[in-house]
Structure 1
Amino acid sequence: MTRCISEPKSRYRLIRAAFGLATAMAGFLSDAAYADEDGVSYWLPGRFSSLAAVPAVPGWSMAEVYYHTTVSAFGNAAAAREVRVGRIPANVDVDLSLRLNAQADLVLLNPTYTFATPVLGGQLAIGMTGLFGRSAAALDGTLTTAVGPFATTRTGTLSDSVTSIGDLYPQVTLKWNAGVHNFMTYLTGDIPVGAYSANRLANLGIGHGAIDGGGGYTYFNEKLGHEFSAVAGFTYNFKNPDTQYQSGIDFHIDWGASQFLSKQLFVGAVGYYYQQITDDFGQPPILGGFRSRVVGVGPQIGYLFPVGDMQGYLNLKGYGEFAAENRPAGWNTWLTFSLSPMAPTSTAAPTRRIATK
Structure 2
Amino acid sequence: MTSLPSQAWADAGGVGFWLPGIFGSLAAAPTVPGWAYASIYLHLQADAGATKNFVTSGGASGSVVTGLNAHGDALALGITYTSPLPVLGGQAAVSILTAPGNVGLGIDATLTGPAGNAISGVRTDNRTTVSDVFYQGTLKWNQGVHNEMVYITGNIPSGTYDPNRLANLNLGFVAWDAGAGYTYFDPKTGHEFSIVGGLTYSLPNPYLQYQNGIDFHVDWAASQFLSKNFQIGVAGYFYQQITDDSGPGAKLGGFRGRAIGIGPQIGFIIPMSDGYQGYLNLRGYKDLEVENRASTWSTWVTFAVSAAPPEHASSKPAVRKH
Q: Same fold, TM exceeding 0.5?
A: yes
Corresponding letter in the other structure for 2:293: R
> Of the two, which has the highest radius of gyration?
1
* 1:190-217 superposed Cα distances (whole Å, 9 cap, x missing partner): 1122521222111011101001100000
Q: How far off is 1:30 after superposition?
A: 2.1
After superposition, where does 1:297-316 map in structure 2 within 5 Å?
297-309=262-274, 310-316=276-282
Is 1:124 aligned with 2:97? no
RMSD: 2.0
Aligned partners of 1:279 and 1:223: how far apart in 2?
A: 46
Residue 218 of structure 2, aligned match among 250, 253, 265: 253
Uncovered stretches (5+) of structure 1, i.e. residues with no partner: 1-23, 348-357
Q: Secondary structure at the match of 1:174?
A: strand
Q: What is the aligned partner in structure 1 of residue 318 from structure 2? A: none
Separation in structure 2 between the aligned mates of residue 227 and residue 296 of structure 1, nearest angstrom: 20
| CA distance in 1 between partners of 2:52 and 2:137 (Å) | 32
Q: Secondary structure at the match of 2:58?
A: helix
From 265, 283, 291, give the equivalent of 1:317.
283
- Distance across 2 between alignment mates of 1:131 and 1:286: 31
Which whole-Å deviations, capped at 9, do the CAs of 1:247-298 have from their partners, x for residues lacking one? 1100000000000111110100000000000001125565120110101100
Provide the C-alpha distance between the structure 1 equivalents of 2:116 and 2:228, rounded to a whole number of angstroms: 66
Q: Does 1:133 align with 2:101?
A: yes
Whether 1:153 and 2:128 are equivalent positions in the alignment is: no
- Residue 140 of structure 2 is aligned to residue 180 of structure 1: no
> Aligned residue for 2:317?
none
Counterpart CA distance in 1 for 2:204 and 2:113 is 24
Aligned to 1:31: 8
Distance in 1 (alpha carbons) for counterparts of 2:141 and 2:240: 28
CA 1:102–1:78 in structure 2 vs 1: closer, same or farther (change >3 Å)? farther
Shift in alpha-carbon separation, 1:202–1:232, aligned structure 2, 3 A: same
Query: Which residue, out of 120, 129, 135, partners 1:170?
Result: 135
- Asked whether 1:112 is paired with 2:80, we answer yes
More strand by share: 2
Structure 1 89/320 Cα, relative in aligned 2: closer, same or farther at 3 Å? closer
Partner residue of 1:350? none
**Which residue is equivalent to 1:53?**
28
- The residue aligned with 2:294 is 328
User: Which is further off, 41-50 or 284-293?
Assistant: 284-293
In the alignment, residue 38 of structure 1 is paired with which amino acid?
G
Instruction: State whether residues 101 and 138 of structure 1, in contact with CA within 8 Å, keep that contact through their aligned partners in structure 2.
Output: yes
Aligned mate of 1:102, from 70, 74, 97: 70
Amino acid corresponding to residue 96 of structure 2 in structure 1: M
The letter of the residue matching 1:28 is: P
SS class of match (1:175)? strand
**1:140-289 matched pairs, under 5 angstroms:** 140-141=108-109, 144-145=112-113, 151-154=117-120, 156-282=121-247, 286-289=251-254
> TM-score under structure 1 normalisation?
0.83
What SS is found at the alignment partner of 1:79? Answer: strand
* 8 A contact 1:86–1:144 mirrored in 2: no
- 1:111 corresponds to which letter in structure 2? I
Between structures 1 and 2, the one with greater helix share: 1
Deviations 1:66-95 (A, max 9, x none): 0000011136854323xx3352789xxx56
2:166 is paired with a residue whose SS is coil
Aligned-partner residue type, residue 102 of structure 2:
R
Q: Is the 1:25–1:129 Cα contact (8 Å) retained in structure 2?
A: no
Q: Paired residue for 1:343?
A: 309
